[in-house]
Structure 1
């Protein structure tokens, strides 16, 4: 296997001349790097803060790379050395209390309307029809065999998927014991099976495809798919353990300039680096002790995230359960043996029982009308807010809420007693179109408030979950959705394997359910919008233009999930790949590298 440039030093790197310098070697950054370096006349450098161990058994901290590559280990990297472990400030709405190498490999897209809304906001070229070629360009879809198609209801529309892209997309060969009950249960509740969930509507019940290479049964992601095959190219240079502290801006004819810089540091760190470079709202920069170069009021604003609760149920103890691998070393060893020798068994199983539903499917018309009526106390709505409220209407058949069921205890709050010998299953409920909007900003540390903020200082991450002028509506929606989650789990045939609700405890009444939601809501790790495209409002409503160029300065662009002006109803990774593919295409167009 090709090795990374592990011997490259910072001194070696800075002696090279680059046409483009990409900050962040994650999902988007490595896509852009690979596509730009396909032009042999361009030299592309990538600065990645983390360490890499592709082609090795362990990384520099001794952490096993199997935690990344083996599908069944997908939860083990969270909270480890590869995880930035960002924390929000205390959230009043919660009682004051991502990368492609760490995600859960779910491969789906939002609905057509999600992307068309970006275009309707004034971001030309960002509708569904514009993005679909780039979705397809990123992927190679592998058709499942007939047994999987029939037994697991692994449906697809071959016209909507790619056949020659770097990311390998497949359906698992094996599924958890609850999966065979999922479709029948939702069908019993008048939810139709979606036979083409990648084709512009994800509404309904379906089996998810995954970013997994089907022969090796390993994770397919940006490093293995976009970087490694091209790592030997002399015009593609990656430096790891390289932390970017800011962008150095020069003045040319009265304008601030930083040519060839592409920020792909994600929804948290892209705005951080921009602010540390002197581009942000004047009050934020003044408080952080940073000189103002460009007053850009929306940097770090517009943070939107998917909110999630997890309901845990006691299930039939005879069912094979992923939690068993944590407590039974013999079973864990057997699972490992099967994976290594036959690429089968529990370590190939992923959570694939998915359902997206509009609120109108289970919320009464009266309650839905009260939720979607514009509050009379608010005399002005932004164009973005209007879009979000419109999405909640009766007529919009969109996936307002995502449900996922799988065996195992997925809750970070529920701590069962191992001595009881009980087994569990979990319903995940995820709000897709949050009305709550927050921010991410730099600020000086409390211990040294007089010095300027730096890249190592803790950020003020404030999603404002269930807060702000519309956050209470998110809470009411989640409460309604939680009730339906329990209805799903009390419906046959899924109900046949469920013994009782374990969390929230049975003692929590329906009237107390909302308070339980407040206390147990967590993020689904899908932050977007902090460097959003401005559309018609340009700098007044956004940070970058429709070609992802930072307003107020020449040269820098942002390419990652932070440019999304509105949240989508989907897991983010497929969309981030499409954004990066489109961005690379636009950049090459702009420099005459190729394009129409």
Structure 2
């Protein structure tokens, strides 16, 4: 019998008769598994390559965010060298731990704009617009209201009608804020940016104080492993096997149809096959979901042939349509009296004091998460004439090659031409050095102005590599991740808009009262001869752009185009295969103006609902439900 939060051993796992298997115990995967197992007639098996880490403070303590990147809990992927970034290759962290990337992220909890999700439905994905998704967004969450004093002091403003009250994931405003946050709203107001008092209700444009995925009592990370799996681990029909690396789907031909019959995986160095008469749900994320499809024979025949794999389902969309939020991290030196996370890492006495305050009072620096946020349309700082020219340029390019112009591209162009009031760029200011390229100097204190492009035109791909040393490609081979940052006509537009956005970021940092705690800009360095002139950020943006860890789209919903435009239908069923679905960020056809974790939880809830609906239809006649 199951019941241990760490899962079962492989022998007992294989004895179960599963109706459903979830590949990947990550953000969405554990949502799907937990919700399906609410039906006692369903038996769900979860295969997770990582291990539980419920008690690791690098994961549980909010103020230690980022410490697990590059650790044993990270798959440690990397991109190919990017011509648009001057040939640089970027690390691409993804969670290899129970809970997946929800155990590694920075716990930001927000949603995109109404138009972001309505665009999915406009593409033909019925049931995926804002109104249809709202019940699932709310179902994931228990929102804890801040008291009046907190609201007044930290601008923790909300509209409770758009929050859930009974969901597994806990959301709360931080107990402690960095020294810069007290100046954030007032600074933004001086630049014409209003405080958004209801940023969860369909528009996140403006400045606001961010919610976090943290428990209100213990002030620990709230993530899928602790919110969805651990409380339900004693269900006999929810069976987890950790340290289980899935190698391939077992697909068999029945007549003219490919049917999913099981999953091949390794555990403890031994290979096993678990079979089922039901459905497999892939929740491997935007990197590994397309990778698993391809090694199983689903994908572009040319890529599969080069990898030594037989094509079972011809679908060139697998691994394509990759979109990612591009980010820059501008560093400023700040007042030396301000305490930063770097101080805690450098001074054991300070760290000990912070740990003690956290343990005894659940407050202090160990609870602080970046929360000074603003989402803006480009029209706030780019003249409409320029935006229209950029959009017109892309329309002209698409007319040269109509075959490459997709409905998704046209939606993105329309957002420029129509001057939409959407959060096209995100700004996030925090007292810490976030740049991998700027080394903090001893005795200096720093803060970072992060800016993230929300609706990228740049589109890339993630595929399995070709045969090496005469051996066919497997899941053990690192995927080829090529985001194509700033490449192609659309990439050129992304670059120009990032440069323009960086100029406005510099203006934010130069505006009081935020400027009162800033000594100077140090990355890129400010020089005396540049004062009074506009600094050219072009070279710096190309040399410093990094990933924002938000990849989507590689197994996207096809909508009206079906298999010609995507990998799954609006019920998340993989085209051309029976008994196979995907539930994770890879199914998103267009990016959203938000950190995606809250949306991915919603995808998991929606996926479970669809699967349960279909189960009920099939089994209603037999009296089993």
Partner of 1:60: none
TM-superposed deviation, 1:188: 0.5
- Take 2:164 and 2:481, find their aligned partners in 1: how far apart are those partners? 36
**1:42 matches 2:42:** yes
Q: Deviations over 1:353-408 (max 9, x none)?
A: 00000000011223222222243243122111001111223431000000000111
**Is residue 45 of structure 2 the alignment partner of residue 26 of structure 1?**
no
Residue 294 of structure 1 pairs with residue 318 of structure 2 = no
Residue 69, structure 1, aligned to residue 71, structure 2: no
Structure 1 residues 166-215: Cα deviation after superposition (integer angstroms, max 9, x where no partner): 00010012211110100000001111100011110000000001000001
Q: 1:297 deviation in Å?
A: 1.0
Tell me the CA shift for residue 46 of structure 1.
Answer: 0.1
C-alpha deviation, 1:315, in angstroms: 0.7
Task: Indicate which of 246, 249, 271 corresponds to 1:247.
Answer: 249
Aligned counterpart, 1:321: 340
User: How many equivalent pairs are there?
Assistant: 582
1:254 Cα deviation after fit? 1.5
1:243-392 correspondence runs (5 A): 243-258=245-260, 259-375=278-394, 376-379=396-399, 380=402, 381-392=405-416
Distance 1:365 1:160 in 2: 32
The CA deviation at 1:320 is 2.1
2-structure distance, mates of 1:8, 1:588: 25
Secondary structure in structure 2 of the residue aligned to 1:461: strand
Partner of 1:443: 465
Q: Which residue in the other structure is 1:505 paired with?
A: 525
Give RMSD over aligned pairs: 1.6
- For 1:163, the equivalent position in structure 2 comes to 165
Q: Distance in 2 between matches of 1:444 and 1:232?
A: 43
1:62-97 per-residue CA deviation (whole Å, 9 max, x = no partner) reads xxx111111001111111111111100110100111
Aligned residue for 1:256, secondary structure, equals strand
Counterparts of residues 450-465 of structure 1 (less than 5 Å) = 450-465=470-485
Asked whether the 8 Å contact 1:111–1:202 carries over to 2, the reply is yes
1:81: which partner in 2? 72
Distance 1:384 1:7 in 2: 41
Q: What's the TM-score once normalised by structure 1's chain length?
A: 0.95
Matched, 1:585 2:609: yes
Residue 174 of structure 1 aligns with which residue? 176
Partner of 2:77: helix, strand, or coil?
Answer: coil
Question: In structure 2, what is the Cα distance between the partners aligned to 1:414 and 1:145?
Answer: 39
* 4+ residue segments displaced more than 3 Å: 2-7, 507-512, 593-596
Question: Cα deviations across residues 440-466 of structure 1 (Å, max 9, x unaligned)?
Answer: 0001365x2x32101110211000000
Residue of 524, 528, 548 corresponding to 2:572: 548
TM-score of the two chains, using structure 2 as the length reference: 0.91
Task: Kindly state the Cα deviation for residue 11 of structure 1 after the two structures are TM-superposed.
Answer: 2.5
Structure 2: tracts of 5 or more residues without a match? 89-93, 95-100, 261-277
1:445·1:458 contact (CA, 8 Å) conserved in 2? no
Q: Which stretch has the larger CA shift, 484-493 or 384-393?
A: 384-393
Is the alpha carbon distance of 1:326 and 1:3 closer, same or farther for their aligned partners in structure 2, counting shifts above 3 Å? farther
Report the Cα distance in structure 1 between the residues aligned to 2:506 and 2:380, rounded to whole angstroms: 15
CA displacement 1:538-594 (0-9 Å, x = unmatched): 000000000000001111000000000000000010000001101100110011179
Specify the alignment match of 1:137 in structure 2.
139
Query: 2:160 and 2:514 mapped to 1: Cα distance?
Result: 30
C-alpha distance in 2, partners of 1:351/1:585?
Answer: 33
CA contact (8 A) 1:529 1:566 kept: yes
Aligned residues of 2:44 and 2:238 also touching (Cα < 8 A): yes
**Residues 208 and 113 of structure 1, relative CA distance in 2, 3 Å threshold:** same
Q: Say whether 1:515 aligns with 2:539.
A: yes
Residue 186 of structure 1 is matched in structure 2 by 188
Matched residues in 1 for 2:479 and 2:37: separation? 33
Q: Matched residues in 2 for 1:272 and 1:356: separation?
A: 33
